[in-house]
Structure 1
Amino acid sequence: MFILQARNLKKHFGDKPVLEDLSFDLNKNDRIGLVGANGAGKTTLANLIYGDIEPEQGTINRNPQMRIGYLLQSVDYTVNDDKQLSAEFLERASELGLKKVHSWQEERFAHLSGGEKLKIALAQIWATNPDILILDEPTNHLDFQGVNWLINQLQEFNGTVILISHDRYFLDKTITKVFELDLGKLTIYNGNYSTYRTEKQNRYEDQLHQYDVQQKYKAHVEGQMTQLQQWAGKAHRTMRDQEGFKEYHGVKAKKIDKAIKSKMKRLNQELEKNKVEKPTEEKKVRFQFEASKKRGKRIIEAKNLTKKYASRTLFTNSQFYINHGERIGIIGPNGSGKTTLVNMILGDESITFGELSKSDTLKIAYLSQDVADMPLSQTALDALHLSEKEKLLQARTTLANMGMNADKLEQLIGTLSLGERTRIKLTNMLISDYDLLILDEPTNHLDLASREQLETTLSEFTSSLLIVSHDYYFINKLCDKLLVIEDNKIKRIEMNLEQYELKKKQQETPGKQQIEEELLLINTEISAVLGELSLLTPDSEKYKDLDTTFLSLTERKRDLMRQIESL
């Protein structure tokens, strides 16, 4: 049963068509991932569904009593005092890790991190109990705890969910249908993100095969017509040269001309009726890094590293190192100090205590998560300081390979989207020579195709990578080592994220031997209790206490037996 029905939606911005003739239904409990390249119209469609903008053509039928919760991509949220005090809001905020939000003063709310702002906004939206949730890039500033919380909550949410996200892990865990926007058109796929990618590739290969078959058939018919045209020409020449056979060859030439026209008509009709367009191949984004091989093995080393603020300790007495060519992911909860550590490595943040040594000739490139720090009144060309003809050509080629027109270099940065600004920053790195790339949430504003291609290219990068990311697939694929910030310590872990989480889970979950040892102790206690009970009468007070203990021990025994069976 649909709760919203859209028919023949059309939307332009200026002369540019964004959405063309879109029709779809939203059903109760749909889990939809809205995907497409940057600028494909995802946010525009979300705003149409929400009711912030109206279509130029077409209709949207929705229940006027229906509540829609909409999380915008921006995290510049304000806190509503009424919702802040509600029990529902406090519960949601606590589940997101903001356990002391009820005691925060006004000053605390004025200095929220990006992740804290996002969690506050999510808690506010959830507290309204909406019928439809529209979440635009909800995982951009969430730590892994927050992402897993959101996945679990969406699975339990009794309503319709529309997700605009470039986080493939998050989409795989939450959606059952994909709405893909491409060149203003909407294509619907069933399944999660991985299923969609497989089905899209299958559809592309099938259409390409049909197109090739059609082209071969067309070439075959055109070859026949060419042969007929040659025969007709010969018949016309013979008719002119041989007067005695004029009538015969004239009839023959007319028959051939008629056959050519008939074949051409049938070919055009068939092509018009069953025309197969050549499928558009997904644009490949080619990143080009040139690795330096001039550095020594150990490029960064920390000893007893400590960072404190007036009343807060981020990490203390921490040791770690980074070798040349290693790919290391930095993970930890929001506010644990990941970005602070990056700034310390860059030299932009002071060290409270300890040492942080770097190779003297180490050349570092840093991509920050805040693309708003670019000079908005400058053109991209000016911001990149490109004056050499060769560098300018490289920049134009790189932008084109990333799906951006080269004329974007001439535009003011303030007119570019967040994704386009990220690509401008990446361009500056791609055309330079660095020993260490530090990427702070590099995929936040990249579309899905760009994320996957960036993974492929960085996997071939031979210098060092240091990555802060909440994109599970991205960091798990690229980083085979981790710097983990937890319990106010930075620890170097010699495994990837998936292996690390599995190990933690195993440590948190008792092993079979540990369970069997506890079961042995429980059996011993049960025997002792039964022995004492046999010496007492049921009406005594001690008998009642021991009977309660016996019931508790037997329940624990059954629980341990179930755990053993599940292993």
Structure 2
Amino acid sequence: MISANNVTLRLGKKALFEDVNIKFTEGNCYGLIGANGAGKSTFLKILSGQLETTNGDIVITPGQRLSVLEQDHFKYDEYTVMDTVIMGNSRLYEIMKEKDAIYAKEDFTDEDGIRASELEAEFAEMDGWNAESDAATLLNGLGIDTDLHYSMMRDLNGSEKVKVLLARALFGNPDILLLDEPTNHLDLDAIAWLEEFLINFENTVIVVSHDRYFLNKVCTHIADIDYGKITLYAGNYDFWYESSQLLIKQMKEANRKKEEKIKELQEFISRFSANASKSKQATSRKRALEKIQLDDIKPSSRKYPYIDFRPDREIGNEVLTVDGISKTVNGVKVLNNISFIVGHNDKIAFVGSNELAKTTLFQILAGELEPDEGTYKWGITTSQAYFPKDPAAEFDNDDTIADWLTGYSPVKDATYVRGFLGRMLFAGEDGVKKVKVLSGGEKVRCLLSKMMISGANCLILDEPTNHLDMESITALNNGLIKFPGVALFACHDHQFVQTTANRIMEILPDGSLIDKITTYDEYLESDEMARKRTVYTADREGDED
């Protein structure tokens, strides 16, 4: 168990948290939610001891081990993947290294023998002999192939490092597990594996995530941060949303009835306060009026952008034809004779673990990369807008936000451009901020403004929900659902994919394509998908053997 007792944190004059009291108990998974800047990650740092409070304290049940998902992807570059995972249990790792050092000695003394036997006993008690196989199971479940388990961390790509750090946090059955955005950069298969792991995890989990489906799947409670307070709700994310909305509705209804009563009392007092025969009743009603207190309903600190893609032109029947496209990247054939035809009502989600293949295909279709073989052709009525997975080059300049967006606007009018910025929560002076200093979420909102202002009827989006808060993801999700054009997108948010896509494409590890006109959930349940997963699972188990 871990609890916060009267915790206050002040940053300058501002109180980020004020007298927070909350207890997280064994056997439950708590989803920590709140608007951007509400302090979710900061509160996890307080719980883990990485950040000191201004007042109050954090109490952990004596003897319990706390594990945290590391955010520094370069911290373990000088270690192997296997060592990095096992280091998740620092005491077990220390024992292993001390044992190795003793056994490596040429002059092995009696004292060394006694110490080695003590270490062996503690090692066995901690199930140390299964440490490597347990670590391998976690790594394989998250999609790190067996041939990488003894590679150096510095040789892994960013996505692989994220998975290793997650395996490190999960290793050794910690008593308390703190996870800050664990699904970021995970493919949907790895997220599904993590969901099952947490559902079966018997200890305490506190997780920050913007993935609504994930929170619904794993959480038993929701801890909502709003205006420096944390309110605990039993149930998953959807239950929290319904409960919080119902509470606000009930408070508003109660206030409405109180206001009616206030008006009734005021009218009586006004009419009869000067009437001698009614003065006693008027006085009684004055006392009743003084006792009525309206509930203080604070507006939530959450802010929802307004995302509305409006095509300048209706799309025709001929949208996009892809014929035999192949592409090799760094010696690996990521696209292998890919062919498909896009219809004018299609919203296609590209799913699966082959991240590079999806990004490469989008770059080709956006005209930023040439295929090695094959062709593609956009219809004459189409216009495209592209959201790149890595937009760094877009913001490597000294433009203000307003000037940057004006450069892409067909109407060079400041009021027109600022209207689009306002919808994306860039109000007032925000428009003169330099684009190079924007946060990840602000850059994404700029790119979405650019796509809206373009009037395109075909949208290509490569992981647009990365860096967005829950409110922005919801707004983008709703915006794409009602978009009357064509969308090709990749996204790790299960609910986003399920509610938006009417067609699923998966580029397999060999570069070939599965193409199904179906929802995402139906695709996962399909016989073909089940067979494919069985084959890959068997292959992986064969590698382990």
| Class of the TM-score when normalised by the shorter of the 2 chains | 0.7 to 0.9
CA–CA distance in structure 1, aligned partners of residues 387 and 268 of structure 2: 60
The residue type equivalent to 2:296 in the other structure is E
Larger radius of gyration: 1
The answer on whether the counterparts of 1:391 and 1:431 sit within 8 Å (CA) in structure 2 is no
**Structure 2: 5+ residue runs without aligned partners?**
87-131, 533-545
Residue aligning to 1:393: 418
Residue aligning to 2:520: 497
Please say if 1:366 is aligned against 2:390.
Answer: no
Residue aligning to 1:239: none
Give the deviation of 1:6 after TM superposition: 1.0
Q: With structure 1 as the length reference, what TM-score do the two structures score?
A: 0.77
Give the deviation of 1:415 after TM superposition: 4.8
The answer on whether the counterparts of 2:48 and 2:66 sit within 8 Å (CA) in structure 1 is yes
Equivalent runs, 1:168-567 vs 2, <5 Å: 168-228=212-272, 232=274, 252=276, 256=279, 263-271=285-293, 275-278=294-297, 280=299, 283-335=303-355, 337-359=357-379, 362-370=382-390, 372-373=392-393, 374-375=395-396, 378-385=399-406, 388-400=413-425, 405-413=427-435, 415-486=437-508, 487-504=510-527, 508=531
Residue aligning to 1:16: 14
User: 1:256-290 deviations in whole A, cap 9, x for unaligned?
Assistant: 5x87666444422332xxx4124637755422221
CA–CA distance in structure 2, aligned partners of residues 333 and 314 of structure 1: 12
Give the deviation of 1:447 after TM superposition: 2.5
CA–CA distance in structure 2, aligned partners of residues 461 and 383 of structure 1: 25
**Structure 1: 5+ residue runs without aligned partners?**
236-251, 510-567
Residue aligning to 2:146: 100
Give the deviation of 1:64 after TM superposition: 6.5
Change (3 A) 1:79 1:506: closer
SS of 2:170's partner is helix
CA–CA distance in structure 2, aligned partners of residues 286 and 73 of structure 1: 31
The answer on whether the counterparts of 1:93 and 1:99 sit within 8 Å (CA) in structure 2 is yes
CA–CA distance in structure 2, aligned partners of residues 294 and 335 of structure 1: 31
SS of 1:434's partner is coil
The residue type equivalent to 1:385 in the other structure is T
* Cα RMSD, aligned residues only: 2.8
Change (3 A) 1:182 1:103: closer
Residue aligning to 1:133: 177
Give the deviation of 1:155 after TM superposition: 2.3
CA–CA distance in structure 2, aligned partners of residues 9 and 79 of structure 1: 35
Change (3 A) 1:154 1:351: same
CA–CA distance in structure 2, aligned partners of residues 294 and 270 of structure 1: 57
The answer on whether the counterparts of 1:303 and 1:356 sit within 8 Å (CA) in structure 2 is yes
Residue aligning to 1:562: none
SS of 2:163's partner is helix
The answer on whether the counterparts of 1:455 and 1:474 sit within 8 Å (CA) in structure 2 is yes
Change (3 A) 1:6 1:153: same
SS of 2:299's partner is coil
Residue aligning to 2:127: none
User: 1:64-108 deviations in whole A, cap 9, x for unaligned?
Assistant: 7543222256756644515534514333222222123446655xx
**Which deviates more, 298-307 or 386-395?**
386-395
The answer on whether the counterparts of 2:82 and 2:149 sit within 8 Å (CA) in structure 1 is no
The answer on whether the counterparts of 2:77 and 2:154 sit within 8 Å (CA) in structure 1 is no
Change (3 A) 1:228 1:454: farther
The answer on whether the counterparts of 1:73 and 1:138 sit within 8 Å (CA) in structure 2 is no
CA–CA distance in structure 1, aligned partners of residues 338 and 381 of structure 2: 24
SS of 1:146's partner is helix
Decide which of 45, 50, 56 is 1:58's aligned counterpart: 56
SS of 1:431's partner is helix
CA–CA distance in structure 2, aligned partners of residues 126 and 103 of structure 1: 16
The answer on whether the counterparts of 1:443 and 1:451 sit within 8 Å (CA) in structure 2 is yes
The answer on whether the counterparts of 1:371 and 1:418 sit within 8 Å (CA) in structure 2 is no
Which structure exhibits the higher relative contact order, with contacts defined as CA atoms closer than 8 Å and separated by 6 or more residues?
2
Give the deviation of 1:489 after TM superposition: 0.7
**Which deviates more, 38-47 or 369-378?**
369-378
The answer on whether the counterparts of 2:162 and 2:185 sit within 8 Å (CA) in structure 1 is yes
The answer on whether the counterparts of 1:171 and 1:192 sit within 8 Å (CA) in structure 2 is yes
SS of 2:38's partner is coil
Equivalent runs, 1:135-174 vs 2, <5 Å: 135-174=179-218
The answer on whether the counterparts of 2:70 and 2:169 sit within 8 Å (CA) in structure 1 is no
User: 1:332-391 deviations in whole A, cap 9, x for unaligned?
Assistant: 214451111111111222311111223467432222344555338653233323652232
Change (3 A) 1:227 1:502: same
The answer on whether the counterparts of 1:438 and 1:465 sit within 8 Å (CA) in structure 2 is yes
Residue aligning to 1:84: 82
SS of 1:178's partner is strand
The residue type equivalent to 1:388 in the other structure is D
The answer on whether the counterparts of 1:90 and 1:102 sit within 8 Å (CA) in structure 2 is no
- Between the two proteins, the alignment pairs up a number of residues equal to 477
CA–CA distance in structure 2, aligned partners of residues 378 and 410 of structure 1: 9
CA–CA distance in structure 1, aligned partners of residues 15 and 46 of structure 2: 15
Residue aligning to 1:528: none
CA–CA distance in structure 2, aligned partners of residues 65 and 382 of structure 1: 57
The residue type equivalent to 1:397 in the other structure is G
CA–CA distance in structure 2, aligned partners of residues 341 and 435 of structure 1: 19
CA–CA distance in structure 2, aligned partners of residues 311 and 415 of structure 1: 36
CA–CA distance in structure 1, aligned partners of residues 56 and 435 of structure 2: 34
Change (3 A) 1:136 1:437: same
The residue type equivalent to 1:301 in the other structure is T
SS of 1:337's partner is helix
SS of 1:121's partner is helix
CA–CA distance in structure 2, aligned partners of residues 405 and 454 of structure 1: 19
Give the deviation of 1:41 after TM superposition: 1.2
SS of 1:81's partner is coil
Q: With structure 2 as the length reference, what TM-score do the two structures score?
A: 0.80
Residue aligning to 1:39: 37
CA–CA distance in structure 1, aligned partners of residues 310 and 492 of structure 2: 26
Identity of aligned residues (%): 28
**Which deviates more, 309-318 or 44-53?**
309-318
Give the deviation of 1:197 after TM superposition: 1.8
User: 1:94-134 deviations in whole A, cap 9, x for unaligned?
Assistant: 2222123446655xx54644421211211222235432211
Change (3 A) 1:296 1:202: same
The answer on whether the counterparts of 1:363 and 1:434 sit within 8 Å (CA) in structure 2 is yes
Change (3 A) 1:145 1:177: same
CA–CA distance in structure 1, aligned partners of residues 340 and 458 of structure 2: 16
Change (3 A) 1:223 1:452: same
